[in-house]
Structure 1
């Protein structure tokens, strides 16, 4: 099969979240199975500054954004054996961040990503690369299926191309004022309830859901949740209408990138058969973060964006309790000031068992996974979550809320006859979270039991292999609808 991934971020070129990890890892698995896989993404300043090897291409495309012609230049890099095509336009993409600054989203995001989507389709024709499947991700790429369904419905080049659209987080929908419809060069006929219109605004994500052959989410649990009024973010009705074409596939992780046996960023390598190295990593992390060196005290790690979705209202409410408890807490992440300040205040108040590093550090993150005993993900909602999958790979026992991908991957000791690998709580309250933490701390005191939990998590297969097979089945289903048997 010829498969094109279209994404606004791809690891290791540019990343803000789990979308980039998926767009960087799933194509490698599909390529290894013999498919012709390629990737298209914007050429951000972050890519250039990151030192990635990017070659200038000879192709370019001029597309109309509203009444203005804009030009996109094709650059090329590689992800292993996978060609990565980057679309360059300095006006739109030569900026410090991908989507916005601390002050908010870039006000012209609708123009930036409508330009990107139009360039993708135009450059495919210039390259004469006719994909069997275009796999789009999140609202930034949602205009690709919309344009194929409407503006290019009679274009013979794309007649047999199937479109898969993956929702990584339904909360981000690409909402814009109605006047931006013409700014993006879209027909006013699209501004209807059964298309892009959403309570008087334009909703690009909705357009992608409606126009794609098949829609996926990143876990089975999240797939069920978003069809409910409570978790559907206003789109539950649209998703329910597409329920026969809606599938949940749990994300995987790259087992080559996340492997404590070979990870060069951690202090000492280890495996399920020999866990002694993890103790060295724990002490190394404690020293690096300025904590007391002790192998006996349970160390809780977090690598996360500091936002409401990730449960930081609960964490901040519990900070005084955590500061007084016989544990250590290490947090790495960037986010909202209202969540950053309590950690700074805890340090000022003299909390010696809490360490916080603002921002994202590619070297520190694996050291937290390797050095922590417990990994905390108290998310309000979690489409999939990669943190708990990586944590288990590194023998760090996860605590998560029973939602989305956390519920699909973590098994609690109270979950009947299933073999536990972590701890879950149900109600989104500080009390429920503290109860789960307390149960984990008690279990930690039984070293035999704890090592069983660690090894059980490390034995879980969260590689992309099985998930990739499920995507291939959906690709074939989409192609069958297009009358193709690729």
Structure 2
């Protein structure tokens, strides 16, 4: 099967969020399954700044945007056997930041990514690769299924090319004034309520969700949650209508990148058969954070953006009650200014028992995963979540709110003793959080059973292979729609 993954970012070339890791990890996993998977993204200034060497291609296209022809040049490289293509237009993409600068989003993002969508489709005619399926990620690719179903409808070159659109996050729907459509070569008819129209303007995300053959999101539970207005907002009715073609697939992690036996940022490597290294990492984290060196006191870690949607306010509200327990806390992350200040001030009251480290340092995050006994993740909304899966792999037992990917990856041990790998609470409240943590602390006292729980989590398979196999099933469904 031939698959082209179209993404606005991909690791290690350009990254602002987990989407970048998904795009490149999925491409590698698909190649390992024997499929011809390739990846295409814009050629940002960041890629040159990082020193990546890209081969300049001879193929180029010209796309009319706002009445002027914009040239797109194809460049490429290989990433662990995966062909990676880049569309270069220095006017649009040779800037600081992928989508904006410190002052906000770029005002011409509709033109930038409208150009990208057009250029991807035009370049396919000139490449030696004709995909069976276009796997589209993010609002920035949302115009591709729109173009295929409207402007390019009936073109035999694209007739058997299927589209799968993956929804990562509803926070940014790619919303723009309706007048941008004319400059992007789109028929105003696509503004209909079932097309791109949203809140008096247009949404590239809605276009992808409406026109793609199949759509997916990052977990089964999040898929179900998006059917409700509480989670899906004004896109919930569309997602309900598309329920039969809307799927949830829990993303995996790169099991090589997240391996405590190979992690060079840790004080000492360890694995499921020898957990002495985890004890050493706990001591090292306590020293780094300035906590008392207490080997038997459970150390609770949290690595997350300090925002309300991630439940940081729940932790702040539960703080005084939490510290009545015999625990230590290490929190790492940055986020909303008010929550940063509140949590940092709380940490300063008991510096030998709790420390709030206002940092997004990746090495620090890994040391928290390795050094903590319990990992706290009280997110109100979590489409997939990576941290709880990494915590399991690093032997830190997760305590999570029952939502999205957290519900699909963490099984409450009291509900399913033979399969449980953590502790889950149902309501996003300080009381519910403390209740689940109390159950974890009680379990921690039984060292034999606790080690059994830790090892169960460390040996679970959350690799990309399983997720890739599920995506292949969706690709086949997508292709089948074009054989009718």
- Unpaired runs of at least 5, structure 2: none
Q: Does 1:214 align with 2:214?
A: yes
Cα deviation for residue 321 of structure 1 reads: 4.3
**Mapped partners of 1:174, 1:418: distance in 2:** 44
Structure 2 vs 1, CA of residues 123 and 198 (structure 1 numbering), >3 Å: closer, same or farther? same
**Mapped partners of 1:150, 1:339: distance in 2:** 46
Residue 309 of structure 1 aligns with which residue? 309
**Mapped partners of 2:187, 2:371: distance in 1:** 54
Q: Does 1:20 align with 2:20?
A: yes
TM-score normalised by structure 1 residue count: 0.93
**Mapped partners of 1:149, 1:76: distance in 2:** 28
Matched ranges for 1:392-411 at <5 A? 392-411=392-411
Residue 45 of structure 1 aligns with which residue? 45
Residue 478 of structure 1 aligns with which residue? 478
Cα deviation for residue 60 of structure 1 reads: 2.6
Cα deviation for residue 477 of structure 1 reads: 1.3
Structure 2 vs 1, CA of residues 158 and 455 (structure 1 numbering), >3 Å: closer, same or farther? same
1:317 partner SS = helix
Q: Does 1:458 align with 2:455?
A: no
Residue 124 of structure 2 aligns with which residue? 124
**Mapped partners of 1:101, 1:423: distance in 2:** 40
Structure 2 vs 1, CA of residues 120 and 358 (structure 1 numbering), >3 Å: closer, same or farther? farther
Residue 437 of structure 2 aligns with which residue? 437
**Mapped partners of 1:102, 1:309: distance in 2:** 22
Cα deviation for residue 462 of structure 1 reads: 0.9
TM-score normalised by structure 2 residue count: 0.94
**Mapped partners of 1:353, 1:101: distance in 2:** 38
2:362 partner SS = coil
Contact residue 377 and residue 398 of structure 1 kept, 8 A: yes
Cα deviation for residue 320 of structure 1 reads: 4.3
Q: Does 1:234 align with 2:228?
A: no
Contact residue 413 and residue 419 of structure 1 kept, 8 A: yes
Contact residue 322 and residue 434 of structure 2 kept, 8 A: no
Residue 265 of structure 2 aligns with which residue? 265
1:247 partner SS = strand
1:230 partner SS = helix
Contact residue 323 and residue 351 of structure 1 kept, 8 A: no
Residue 379 of structure 1 aligns with which residue? 379
Deviations 1:290-332 (A, max 9, x none): 3333322222222222333211221232344456653333233
1:261 partner SS = coil
Cα deviation for residue 9 of structure 1 reads: 1.8
Cα deviation for residue 243 of structure 1 reads: 1.1
Residue 74 of structure 2 aligns with which residue? 74
Contact residue 18 and residue 385 of structure 1 kept, 8 A: no
- Unpaired runs of at least 5, structure 1: none
Contact residue 348 and residue 355 of structure 2 kept, 8 A: no
Structure 2 vs 1, CA of residues 269 and 10 (structure 1 numbering), >3 Å: closer, same or farther? same
**Mapped partners of 2:168, 2:414: distance in 1:** 29
Structure 2 vs 1, CA of residues 304 and 64 (structure 1 numbering), >3 Å: closer, same or farther? farther
Contact residue 66 and residue 186 of structure 1 kept, 8 A: no
Contact residue 301 and residue 374 of structure 1 kept, 8 A: yes
Cα deviation for residue 418 of structure 1 reads: 4.8
Deviations 1:28-87 (A, max 9, x none): 111011111110112223333334343333333221222232222322232210011122
Contact residue 195 and residue 207 of structure 2 kept, 8 A: yes
Structure 2 vs 1, CA of residues 124 and 139 (structure 1 numbering), >3 Å: closer, same or farther? same
**Mapped partners of 1:332, 1:124: distance in 2:** 44
Residue 113 of structure 1 aligns with which residue? 113
Residue 295 of structure 2 aligns with which residue? 295
Residue 7 of structure 2 aligns with which residue? 7
Structure 2 vs 1, CA of residues 172 and 418 (structure 1 numbering), >3 Å: closer, same or farther? farther
Contact residue 130 and residue 158 of structure 1 kept, 8 A: no
Structure 2 vs 1, CA of residues 325 and 184 (structure 1 numbering), >3 Å: closer, same or farther? farther
List 4+ stretches of structure 1 deviating above 4 A. Answer: 320-325, 347-350
**Mapped partners of 1:94, 1:319: distance in 2:** 45
Residue 152 of structure 2 aligns with which residue? 152
1:231 partner SS = helix
Matched ranges for 1:345-356 at <5 A? 345-347=345-347, 349=349, 351-356=351-356
Deviations 1:190-249 (A, max 9, x none): 111010012312121111011111111111111111112322222121111111111111
Let me know the Cα RMSD of the aligned residues. 2.1
**Mapped partners of 1:107, 1:354: distance in 2:** 43
Structure 2 vs 1, CA of residues 16 and 351 (structure 1 numbering), >3 Å: closer, same or farther? same
1:173 partner SS = coil
Cα deviation for residue 416 of structure 1 reads: 4.4
Contact residue 301 and residue 329 of structure 1 kept, 8 A: yes
**Mapped partners of 2:205, 2:350: distance in 1:** 46
| Higher mean C-alpha deviation, range 313-322 or range 297-306 | 313-322
Residue 415 of structure 1 aligns with which residue? 415
